[in-house]
């Protein structure tokens, strides 16, 4: 020991509250009552709304009522809400079917959205045609809410002859320019700064489109998260910077990425970016906050950061077993509940929905997806049926195939 | 025709491109108001405004990543990395994103972007202002890699790169910015105004990507090279007395194999020359291709002259840099092999 009398240094490695075998405990998560968080004007000085990065904006209360200033600003019809419920139900049922298809070896891989459906399905409703999402692999609700055909999604997952990505990409790496869904990359966080560049391009061109960046809690630790915040802040780019905090990055709990910052939304404050934290399992709160941020971007008031507080109820992917690192019952203990159940209860409270109609809708959606799935499987699945041509493997590396690739394609016999 | 330095030729290319196409935007560190640490963008912000030519935060991944987003939108970003030695933070964006966008989206999103960066040594730049990382880009499918050796090509190749629908890595040998350099560091510096390739056509013209050029016809051997080493090769050829054909590749990928094989099949001997370190350098690819394509015409093993497999040193610059003496010796040995 040195002679200054201090003990040796020791390294801090954060740990989640509970591990497998333990009792799930979220009592440390401070959750404000619905309707209690204020709704500032969209042109509010970022300094004056710092508190919104440390609370949780919520609209739906335990009785299923939409309450508070964020609810009042929404102005939705029951039809809007029913469409939202249908989007979320569709995503969940689609997920279940694709998960099963992976278990049946019809595809190599799948990633579900269980418990996070409100975020992507709700956010998409705040966008206009021409706006662009830069999603991660866990925002397929953006596509569903934008009306992208389920058959195209399935064909991509099965890598069959009708796969819009021509069998080049891992399952769930969708892309649709027309539906405002930027091509998904396996490299985490890269799209976050690209979204900022896209928004800068719209501003440079004097256009009206905005963009939305997406990232998970774990990936905020990547350098491109920082790059995006710097560029968004410097150029006041018309971008909404979304952070989906589902508590887990594969096996790593969010404290490893968050450190002592308290919340992920707080990261935005250091860049002078207005930052909100919202109940990610509250479809109405997601929509309300998304509209607020989109309006800020459209009015050239600059970027907004939104942290969605949610829980990754399923495994990270079909290659993951969460019971190895967290309690099996943890998702049931999650205090913000289930997004579909909560919107369903709201619609029932409004008198616009019922258990019977819900069960009926569920059966209808399942029937539609089953039909679509049969059609997709008839075209082909990973190991059976029709696939994109092998010659196509060499296309689109460049706009025009250079001589060395022509030669290789010839050598390969395609 | 005007006499220009390589800096002026690059600036002129940017000027012509920005004047003709409102979607061309230029940005990077110190690129805007100041006009770039090498003056390659001087005057562009004043002429085209702050939203066409602007300064960025010091974040290479941010520069390239934002450029990719803009290119996907429909702009044509021409971004600058201040030194090729500092491109590594942007490597993920270049390799995983820019190069793959068209392929992975089946053509829905494309990346017509140019990444300009000063490259090469010979300026006492030490470890982080001298590197030649071209092999890190030629190994990446989806990228094109260009290295000009004179003002006339620099403008024409940059115009082609800007108009190209694919991402182009544009490496500018900073040793050649103000004048040709043959490796004779002990002699007075010469200027581009006395060199025929310092003659730069005004307005729009292009030098096609993927086309090499014979800088000196010869019969005894072929030298495959690019950038600063083109001038070193010419000096070494004269000093060695070996009648070598000097080929300036200009574009490393896609590579002009027709010009290469025609020359090597004629001379029967091949020397590959670059500043970059030897092992797994671009010269290895050139040697392998020549061996495969010209095997029955080769009369001697292919030789490679390159930087040593060390980081680029400061004080030992001229022991490291493959100068004309080393190249001339290699040439003599190459033609002596029976």
Share above pLDDT 70 across residues of chain A, in percent, rounded to a whole number: 100
Question: Token pair for residue A168?
Answer: 């080049």
Contact B69 A173 (CB under 8 A): no
Below-50 pLDDT ranges, chain B: none
Q: Is the CB of residue A173 less than 8 Å away from at least one CB of chain B? A: yes
pLDDT of residue A260: 80
Q: How far from the centroid of its chain's Cα atoms is residue A324's Cα?
A: 24
Angle (CA) A146 A148 A149, round 5° = 145
CB contact under 8 A, A397 and B70: no
Shortest Cα–Cα distance, B167 to chain A (Å) = 9
Tokens 């989206």 identify what position? Answer: B105
Q: Can you tell me the distance from the alpha carbon of A64 to that of A283, in angstroms, rounded to the nearest whole number?
A: 12
- Three-class secondary structure of residue B272 per DSSP: strand
Substitution target in A176, A237, A396 with the highest count of B β-carbons within 10 Å is A396
Model confidence at A1, pLDDT cuts 50, 70, 90, reads low
**Whether A190 contacts chain B with CB within 8 A:** yes
**Rounded alpha-carbon distances, angstroms, from residue B51 to A233, A303, B200:** 16, 18, 28
Tell me the C-alpha distance between A131 and A294, whole Å: 10
Identify all chain B residues contacting A194, using CB atoms and an 8 Å cutoff: 65-66, 68-69, 72, 97
DSSP notation for A254-267: THHHHTTSS-SHHH
**Residue A29 — very low, low, confident or very high, per pLDDT cuts 50/70/90?**
confident
Query: Closest approach of chain B CAs to the CA of A282, in angstroms?
Result: 31
Coil/strand/helix, residue B224: strand
Other residues' Cβ atoms within 10 Å of the Cβ of residue B133: 19
pLDDT at A259: 82
Contacts of B75 in chain A (CB under 8 A): 201, 204-205
Between positions 197 and 256 of A, the ones with CB within 8 A of B are 197-205, 211, 223-224, 226-228, 230-231, 234
pLDDT given at position A222: 98
Mean local confidence (pLDDT), A230-247:
98
The pTM of this model reads: 0.98
Burial of B216 (0-12, 13-18, 19+ CB in 10 A): middle
Q: Which residue of B has its CA nearest to A156?
A: B105
Q: Which two tokens mark A410? A: 């010839």
Q: Among A1-10, A319-328, A360-369, B41-50, which is the least confidently predicted range?
A: A1-10
Angle at which helices A78-103 and A117-124 pack, to 10 degrees? 130
Classify residue A9 by its DSSP letter.
P
For Cα atoms A340, A342, A346, give the angle at the middle one, nearest 5 degrees.
115
Encoded tokens for A107: 């595809």
Contact A187 B101 (CB under 8 A): no
Cβ-Cβ contacts under 8 Å, A200 against chain B: 66, 69-70
For residue B168, list its beta bridge partners. B114, B144
B98 Cα to chain A: minimum distance (Å): 10
Q: How close is the nearest chain B Cα to the Cα of A240, in Å?
A: 14
Residue B175 to residue B178: CA distance in whole angstroms: 7
User: Is A266 a residue whose pLDDT tops 60?
Assistant: yes
Tell me the shortest Cα–Cα distance from B93 to chain A, in angstroms: 7
Q: Is B184 tagged catalytic?
A: no
C-alpha distance from A388 to closest chain B C-alpha (Å): 12
ipTM greater than 0.85, yes or no?
yes
Cβ-defined contact of A226 to B165 (cutoff 8 Å): no
- A118 and A91 in contact (C-beta within 8 Å)? no
Find out whether A39 and A69 touch, Cβ atoms under 8 Å: yes
Q: Do A197 and B89 touch (CB under 8 A)?
A: no
Residue A230's pLDDT band (cuts 50, 70, 90): very high
With b for 16 or more beta-carbon neighbours within 10 A and e for fewer, the A66-87 pattern comes to bbbebbeeeebeeeebbebbbb
Provide the pLDDT for residue A262. 87
Q: Do B65 and A202 touch (CB under 8 A)?
A: no
Contact A296, A302 (CB under 8 A): yes
What pLDDT does residue A2 have? 64
Cα distances from A118 to residues A29, A254, B64, B216, B254, in angstroms, run 20, 20, 33, 67, 47
Q: Choose, out of A132, A177, A183, the residue to mutate when testing the contact with B (most B CBs < 10 Å).
A: A183
Question: Which tokens go with A370?
Answer: 């089953």
Test A190 with B93 for CB contact under 8 angstroms: yes
Chain B neighbours among A 275-314 (CB < 8 Å)?
none
CA A125, chain centre distance (Å): 14
Contacting residues for A104 by C-beta, under 8 A, at least 6 apart:
none
pLDDT tens digits along A94-140:
999 999 999 999 999 999 999 999 999 999 999 999 999 999 999 99
Diameter of chain A by CA atoms? 77
Nearest to B82 by CA among B45, B10, B28: B28
Top residue of B66, B252, B261 to mutate, by most chain A CBs within 10 Å, is B66
The verdict on a CB contact (< 8 Å) between A398 and B104 is: no
- Chain A CB contacts of B253 under 8 Å are 402
The answer to whether A156 contacts chain B (CB < 8 Å) is no
Contacts of B126 (CB under 8 A, 6+ apart): B312, B313, B314
Tokens of A147: 């009306």
**Phi and psi of B328, rounded to 5°?**
-60, -40
> Count H helices, E strands: chain B?
12, 14
Contact B65 A402 (CB under 8 A): no
Regarding beta strands B221-225 and B270-277, do their DSSP bridges make them parallel or antiparallel, or are they unpaired? parallel
Residues A174, A280: Cα–Cα separation, whole Å = 23
User: Is the CB of A271 inside 8 Å of chain B's CB atoms?
Assistant: no
Please name the residue that has the structure tokens 């000063």: B118
Residue B322 CA to residue B84 CA, distance in Å, equals: 19
Alpha-carbon distance of A307 to A292, in angstroms, equals: 14
What's the mean per-residue pLDDT of chain A?
Answer: 96
Sign of the Cα torsion B234, B238, B239, B241 reads: positive
User: So what's the pLDDT on residue B104?
Assistant: 98
Q: Do B255 and A404 touch (CB under 8 A)?
A: yes
User: What secondary structure does DSSP assign to B2-42, as a single string?
Assistant: EE--HHHHHHHHHHHHHHH-TTEEEEETT-SSS--TTSTTT
Chain B residues within 8 A of A201 when measuring between CB atoms: 25, 69-70, 73-75
Q: How far is CA A106 from CA A44, A92, A96, A102, A152, in A?
A: 51, 19, 14, 6, 16
A178 Cα to chain B: minimum distance (Å): 9
Which residue among A192, A193, A399 places its CB closest to the CB of B165?
A399
Report the C-alpha gap between B68 and B100 in whole angstroms.
Answer: 11
User: Pick from A88, A59, A64: which is nearest to A279 by CA?
Assistant: A59
**Does residue A403 surpass a pLDDT of 90?**
yes
B59 contacts in chain A (CB < 8 Å): 226-227, 230-231
Which tokens hold the place of A89?
């139900």
Tokens 């099996």 sit on residue: A328
Q: Which helix (H) or strand (E) holds B72?
A: helix B60-73
- pLDDT per position as a tens digit, A388-400: 999 999 999 999 9
Q: Which residue of B has its CA nearest to A166?
A: B106
């Amino acid at each position: 020991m040195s002679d200054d009398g201090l003990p040796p240094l020791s390294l801090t490695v954060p740990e989640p509250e509970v591990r497998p075998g333990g009792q799930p405990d979220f009592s440390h998560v401070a959750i404000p009552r619905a309707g209690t968080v204020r709704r500032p004007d969209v042109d509010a000085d970022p300094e004056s709304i710092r508190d919104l990065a440390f609370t949780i904006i919520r609209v739906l209360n335990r009785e299923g009522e939409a309450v508070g200033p964020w609810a009042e600003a929404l102005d939705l019809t029951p039809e809007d809400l029913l469409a939202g419920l249908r989007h979320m139900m569709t995503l969940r049922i689609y997920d279940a079917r694709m998960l099963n298809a992976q278990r049946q070896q019809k595809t190599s891989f799948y990633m579900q959205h269980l418990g996070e459906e409100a975020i992507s399905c709700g956010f998409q409703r705040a966008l206009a045609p021409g706006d662009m999402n830069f999603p991660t692999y866990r925002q397929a609700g953006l596509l569903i809410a934008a009306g992208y055909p389920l058959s195209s999604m399935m064909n991509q997952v099965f890598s069959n002859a009708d796969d819009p990505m021509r069998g080049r990409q891992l399952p769930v790496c969708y892309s649709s320019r027309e539906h405002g869904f930027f091509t998904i990359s396996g490299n985490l966080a890269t799209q976050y700064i690209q979204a900022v560049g896209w928004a800068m391009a719209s501003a440079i061109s004097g256009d009206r489109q905005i963009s939305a960046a997406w990232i998970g809690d774990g990936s905020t630790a990547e350098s491109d998260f920082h790059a995006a915040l710097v560029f968004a802040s410097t150029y006041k780019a018309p971008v909404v910077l979304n952070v989906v905090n589902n508590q887990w990055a594969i096996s790593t709990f969010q404290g490893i990425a968050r450190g002592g910052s308290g919340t992920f939304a707080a990261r935005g404050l250091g860049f002078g970016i207005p930052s909100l934290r919202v109940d990610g399992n509250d479809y109405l709160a997601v929509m309300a906050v998304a509209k607020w941020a989109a309006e800020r971007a459209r009015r050239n008031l600059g970027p907004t950061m939104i942290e969605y507080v949610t829980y990754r109820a399923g495994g990270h992917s079909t290659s993951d077993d969460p019971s190895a690192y967290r309690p099996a019952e943890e998702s049931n203990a999650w205090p913000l509940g289930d997004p579909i159940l909560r919107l369903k209860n709201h619609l029932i409270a409004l008198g616009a929905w019922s258990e019977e109609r819900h069960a009926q809708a569920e059966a209808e959606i399942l029937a539609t997806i089953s039909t679509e799935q049969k059609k997709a499987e008839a075209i082909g699945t990973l190991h059976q049926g029709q696939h994109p041509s092998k010659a196509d493997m060499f296309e689109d590396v460049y706009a025009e195939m250079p001589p060395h690739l022509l030669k290789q394609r010839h050598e390969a016999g395609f | 025709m005007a006499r220009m330095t390589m800096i002026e030729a690059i600036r002129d290319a940017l000027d012509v491109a920005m004047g003709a196409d409102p979607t061309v935007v230029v940005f990077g560190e110190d690129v805007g108001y100041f006009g770039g640490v090498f003056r390659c963008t001087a005057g562009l912000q004043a002429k085209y405004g702050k939203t066409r030519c602007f300064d960025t935060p010091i974040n290479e991944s941010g520069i390239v990543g934002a450029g990719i987003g803009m290119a996907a939108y429909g702009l044509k970003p021409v971004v600058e990395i201040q030194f090729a030695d500092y491109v590594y933070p942007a490597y993920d964006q270049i390799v995983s994103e820019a190069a793959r966008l068209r392929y992975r989206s089946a053509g829905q999103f494309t990346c017509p972007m140019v990444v300009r960066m000063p490259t090469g040594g010979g300026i006492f730049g030490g470890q982080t202002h001298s590197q030649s990382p071209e092999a890190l880009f030629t190994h990446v499918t989806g990228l094109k890699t260009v290295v000009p050796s004179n003002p006339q090509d620099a403008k024409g190749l940059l115009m082609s790169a800007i108009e190209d629908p694919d991402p182009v890595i544009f490496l500018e040998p900073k040793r050649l910015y103000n004048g040709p350099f043959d490796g004779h560091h002990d002699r007075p510096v010469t200027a581009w105004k006395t060199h025929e390739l310092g003659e730069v056509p005004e307005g729009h013209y292009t030098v096609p990507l993927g086309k090499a050029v014979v800088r000196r016809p010869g019969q005894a051997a072929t030298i495959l090279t690019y950038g600063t080493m083109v001038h070193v090769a010419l000096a070494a050829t004269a000093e060695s007395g070996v009648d070598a054909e000097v080929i300036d590749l200009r574009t490393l990928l896609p590579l002009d194999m027709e010009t290469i094989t025609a020359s090597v099949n004629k001379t029967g001997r091949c020397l590959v020359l670059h500043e970059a370190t030897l092992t797994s350098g671009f010269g290895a690819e050139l040697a392998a291709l020549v061996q495969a394509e010209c095997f029955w015409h080769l009369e001697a093993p292919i030789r490679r002259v390159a930087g040593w497999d060390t980081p680029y040193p400061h004080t030992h610059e001229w022991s490291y840099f493959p100068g004309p003496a080393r190249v001339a010796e290699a040439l003599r040995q190459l033609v002596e092999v029976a």
